[in-house]
Amino acid sequence: MKLLTAAVLLCAMMALTTAAAEYCSIKCIMTCPYGWKKFGKRCFLYVIQALSWAQAQRNCDHMDANLASAHSFKEYKFIQHLIFTSSHTSKEAWLGGSDAQEVGYWFWIDGTQFRYMNWCPGQPSNYYSSERCLQMNYSGGKCWDDVWCHHQKPSVCVRNM
């Protein structure tokens, strides 16, 4: 009888351990790392350190992320709110948009399609044929502008959950 009780307890412990491990793996997939903020199925992080666009992308890459892409008005507003709550201002910041490979062909560094756009009036202007990187929160409209990639700005990183 003791052997039967021990066997039942052992089976119950194994079942609970397996269920807990499955729950943890599902729960862990559904949350963002500490300091990151969730929107949809992606996690965002505002990086206050001013870097060039390439340095900012490299910094995001070190965190298994990319400079952020924005795919809707709601997502863009979320990113703006993230910046404002972190810095208490609506600072200009790098997003992951660029036309460095071909002038006028904008793409997101994370490989997602460039469908949603929030360009300021008259932008992108490609001023002096050398503005290749996308900054957000430009001017009073807090919209997008193309700018020289070597400028130093804060940035927003994104990673999938």
Kindly indicate the confidence band of residue 14, based on its pLDDT and cuts at 50, 70 and 90: very low
Q: Is the pLDDT of residue 152 over 70?
A: yes
pLDDT in tens, 91-134: 999 999 999 999 999 999 999 999 999 999 999 999 988 999 99
Kindly indicate the confidence band of residue 29, based on its pLDDT and cuts at 50, 70 and 90: low
Q: What is the CATH number of the domain that holds 79?
A: 3.10.100.10
Q: Is the pLDDT of residue 6 over 50?
A: no
**64 and 126 fall within a common domain:** yes
Total domains in the fold of the chain: 2
Is the CB of residue 156 less than 8 Å from the CB of residue 95? yes
Task: Note the pTM of the prediction, 2 decimals.
Answer: 0.81
First to last CA, the chain: 48
145 - beta bridge partners?
A: 135
Tokens encoding 130: 């050398």
Residue span of the structural domain in which 3 resides: 1-30
Between CA 95 and CA 73 the distance in angstroms is 14
